[in-house]
Chains A and B, each alone.
Chain A
Amino acid sequence: MPSQFLAEIIIEGKKNARDPEGETIMRDLMIKHGYDMVTSVRSGKILKVTLEAKDEKEAKEICWKMVNELRIYNPIAHVCTIQIVK
């Protein structure tokens, strides 16, 4: 019996790569409006995918196969993490 799983696929730039979007949010929004305790903002993308699978392990495997095959992220530029939340 397949059951439903919710997977969170998080795609972000590599740790030391520039992130102009995050930098702009921090510089021009947060710090300019008084939140000067903020020292770093990183932007990214999250995909919440509901899918059917045999078990959690298979759900995760499907997601990994999918993001690699469909090039949903570029391993050269991004870090991708996948977690099954339920």
Chain B
Amino acid sequence: MTEKTISKDKINLTKEEKEAVYKAIKRDLTIPEAAMLEVMNSEHCSYKSSRPVLPKLPTKGPRVICGPGEDAGVVDIGDGLALVFKLESHNHPSALDPFNGAATGIGGIIRDILCMGARPIGLLDSFRLGGLSDPHTKWLLKWVTKGVGDYGNCVGIANAGGDIEFDPSFQINCLINVGCFGVMRKDELALSRATTPGNKLILLGGSTGRDGIGGASFASKNITEESESDRGAVQIGDPYMKKLIIEATLEAIKAGVVDGLKDLGAAGVTCSISETADAGGTGTEIKLENMRLRESDMEPWEILVSESQERMFFVVKPENVKKISEIFDKYELPYEILGEVTDTGKCVVKYNDQIIVDLPAHLLTKPPAADRKASYPKYLNKLNRKWLPKEPKTNELNDICRKIMASDNIISREWVYRQYDTEVGLHSTVKSGYGDAGVFRLSEFDSKKGVAVTFDGNSHQCYLDPYYGGAGVMMEACSNVAAVGAEPIAMTDCLNFGNPEHPQVFWTFEKVVEGLADASKALGIPCVGGNVSFYNHDEVNDVAVKPSPVIFVAGLLEDVTKAVNYSFKAPDEYIILIGETKAEIGGSEFAKVIHKSNNGQVPKVDFANAKTIISKVVNTIKSGLATACHDISKGGLFVALTEMAMNGDLGYEINLKRVPSETERVDIKLFSESYGRFLITAKAEDVEKIIAIFAEEEIPASFIGKVTKKKKLQIENSNNEILIDLPLNEIKQTWKMRMEEEMEGKK
């Protein structure tokens, strides 16, 4: 090789990583080789810190077609169809440029679904930001919403739901996670592999520029300070081109001319040529001068690691090249043949007939894991788990309820989701703001089934008790899906944490994964993929984000017309509470907002009964007995009841005596966030039937009150004294308008 080499000590790899490299390659590395190895060894690409911990998650199940390792999880949903879904973080790019960061996050997650061969039909998003009233938070919220909305609306994929949390720990490091799901015929599954030597490698879509380069250690050495400010480190998405790429890719798959498919995200072409070769047990060889560049003066290493958007990588049999070219031409999409599949097990890159890269594929795709230390975090020692707040006086309860309904994490998210198109594609039946999960019908795919999707997270509880916090998020996400009538079938996760090199942070990571894993096993839900984002750490103030797993659970309805939302439907319907309310007030909105306390017991998941409760709820809805269903989560029983009332524009009368609980304290009955609880409404004649369904397995189910025509929220204690008496309209007004007023000013 004549290409310039770089000495061992100038390469930004750890000692172990260098050992692995030089054991396989007994010579100096060229600059492009070093750049490729640095990027592929990065935390983002290699999962080096998380890889030893993640196998705790269960990944097997009768429905699983593709588990972790592919670009997205694929599960069998019957009728010859498969559901493909994934979520991913775009935290760091969104913190710098919220609009383009969030938009390209959506662009990237759509590619992950597409590259399995599925048509993307829905999007979800999760934001973790500082306090809502803070000006920086408002700036971020405004632009990430616009980024998600603009890209999704332009590319024509409906938004199915999301999840927002405000907490000071996200002030500097916001977390922006995005998800996408799609549906395909099972026989159209495309895999990211290059199996046959001689097949051609084709790159479709946008040109390659200096987008998203910056990780490589010597990046700054070649450029002057002035040119630094010109560099396009910010990635900019192009949803209209993405729409064409989606249609062209799906048409090529239908035509049977695609042998392997990979999207270009992190590490760009480097990732594509190495992962397809390694997965297929082959090798790849490309000619770098064939790539279309946006900037003429790019160095070879920059071209190889560029993360320019809107690109797809195809593996195609030589005889099908003409056919696929015709499809790409029809959509007026640019493409080029980069090279071909070989049988060498190596990734070879030629530039003007010189070999500049010659590395074994597995060296790039399977770098060594890092050995991280974990230690018990000191802050946990300061918490008093046995704490219970002082019992409020009866005359304080109305105001406590008002405060909770107006708090950052309870108020309506309408200002955000009304900027999203929730209708395009005509798939959505339960839309954002109406149900615990989004429900999409599959009539386009000739099926009467429906899919339910939800995002869930609870960073505050994961901070106070990483194990039960993690387990709780999983239970809560499955409850969301069950509450619309869908059986939860699989999950994928995005784990957002601080610096994994800090043992106390890494301990929380291990515990959250353990909690998630134990809950997933108890619920029988396989994990089919995921993403880990570390280094969400503010180095200046030394603040790590609270441990923030975000879980994407997908559920299946055999008959989509049976889906329910959570609005009260008619006066005099009965309200039934399922599950036991425990004195679990730690990490609740009540403890946080009213008592400003981190103490108390974080809700524990009842692993033994979790699956039974979920399947009983699903069966109740399936049998048509429930007119509405809502799972109880943030804010407890009071908030759940009030959300049902506000959405149905009807009031309620409740007696707390009938709430099955280990305690008689009214504040705990109202605001405890114990998991595994649901509110179901039903017609008078169906109440006994519903209670009997749950009684079979000795799950508490109790009629606690009625829906009223009178627009009042009324709650009595066991002596029939009125504790809470609030006008629905006043509560609804503040709840509905507060975010809008924060963002747009008071009208």
Do residues B209 and A18 form an inter-chain contact, with CB atoms below 8 A?
Answer: yes
Do residues A14 and B232 form an inter-chain contact, with CB atoms below 8 A?
Answer: yes
Residue in contact with A18 in the complex, picked from B229, B231, B238, CB distance below 8 Å: B238
Q: How large is the interface on A (under 10, 10 to 19, 20 to 34, 35 or more residues)?
A: 10 to 19
A85 at the interface (CB under 8 A from B): no
Closest to B139 in A: A71
B245 to chain A, nearest CB (A): 13
Given known contacts A74-B97, A77-B97, A77-B100, is B241 in contact with A14 (CB within 8 Å)? no
Contact flags (1/0) for B292-326 with A, using CB distance below 8 Å?
00110000000000001100000000000000000
Do residues B230 and A14 form an inter-chain contact, with CB atoms below 8 A?
Answer: yes
Contact flags (1/0) for B218-241 with A, using CB distance below 8 Å?
000000000001111111111011
Given known contacts A14-B234, A71-B139, is B240 in contact with A20 (CB within 8 Å)? yes
B732 at the interface (CB under 8 A from A): no
A17 at the interface (CB under 8 A from B): yes
Q: How far is the CA of A20 from the CA of B206 in the complex (A)?
A: 10
B413 at the interface (CB under 8 A from A): no
A68 to chain B, nearest CB (A): 12
Q: How far is the CA of A71 from the CA of B138 in the complex (A)?
A: 12
Do residues A20 and B97 form an inter-chain contact, with CB atoms below 8 A?
Answer: no
Given known contacts A77-B97, A77-B100, is B139 in contact with A17 (CB within 8 Å)? no
Q: How far is the CA of A77 from the CA of B97 in the complex (A)?
A: 7
A70 to chain B, nearest CB (A): 10
Closest to B95 in A: A76
B16 to chain A, nearest CB (A): 34
In this complex, the member of A18, A19, A23, A74 whose beta carbon has the largest number of chain B beta carbons within 10 angstroms is A18
Do residues B206 and A16 form an inter-chain contact, with CB atoms below 8 A?
Answer: no
Which residues of chain A come closer than 8 Å to B139, judged between CB atoms?
71
Do residues B236 and A17 form an inter-chain contact, with CB atoms below 8 A?
Answer: yes
Q: How far is the CA of A15 from the CA of B241 in the complex (A)?
A: 21
B264 to chain A, nearest CB (A): 14
Which residues of chain B come closer than 8 Å to A24, judged between CB atoms?
240
Please tell me the number of chain B residues within 8 Å of chain A, measured between CB atoms: 25
Do residues A14 and B231 form an inter-chain contact, with CB atoms below 8 A?
Answer: yes
Closest to B136 in A: A71
Contact flags (1/0) for A10-42 with B, using CB distance below 8 Å?
000111111110011000000000000000000
Do residues B209 and A16 form an inter-chain contact, with CB atoms below 8 A?
Answer: yes
Do residues A18 and B211 form an inter-chain contact, with CB atoms below 8 A?
Answer: yes
Given known contacts A16-B295, A18-B308, A24-B240, is B210 in contact with A77 (CB within 8 Å)? no
Residue in contact with B236 in the complex, picked from A13, A15, A71, CB distance below 8 Å: A13
Which residues of chain B come closer than 8 Å to A19, judged between CB atoms?
236
Closest to A18 in B: B236
Closest to B241 in A: A20
In this complex, the member of A14, A15, A76 whose beta carbon has the largest number of chain B beta carbons within 10 angstroms is A76
Interface residues of B in 271-298 (CB under 8 A from A): 294-295
Q: How far is the CA of A2 from the CA of B468 in the complex (A)?
A: 65
B193 to chain A, nearest CB (A): 30
Closest to B297 in A: A16
Q: How far is the CA of A76 from the CA of B237 in the complex (A)?
A: 16
Closest to A17 in B: B232
B380 at the interface (CB under 8 A from A): no
Do residues A76 and B241 form an inter-chain contact, with CB atoms below 8 A?
Answer: no
Q: How far is the CA of A76 from the CA of B308 in the complex (A)?
A: 17
B25 at the interface (CB under 8 A from A): no
A-B contact pairs, 25 of them (CB 8 A): A14-B229, A14-B230, A14-B231, A15-B230, A15-B232, A16-B209, A16-B210, A16-B232, A16-B295, A17-B211, A17-B232, A17-B236, A18-B209, A18-B211, A18-B235, A18-B294, A20-B236, A20-B240, A24-B240, A74-B99, A76-B97, A76-B234, A77-B96, A77-B99, A77-B236
Interface residues of B (CB under 8 A from A): 96-97, 99-100, 139, 206, 209-211, 229-238, 240-241, 294-295, 308-309
Query: Closest 8 interchain pairs by CB?
Result: A17-B232, A20-B238, A16-B232, A18-B236, A15-B230, A77-B97, A77-B234, A76-B96
Interface residues of A (CB under 8 A from B): 13-20, 23-24, 71, 74, 76-77
8 new A-B contacts at CB < 8 Å, known A16-B210, A18-B211:
A14-B234, A15-B232, A17-B232, A18-B294, A20-B241, A23-B238, A24-B240, A76-B96
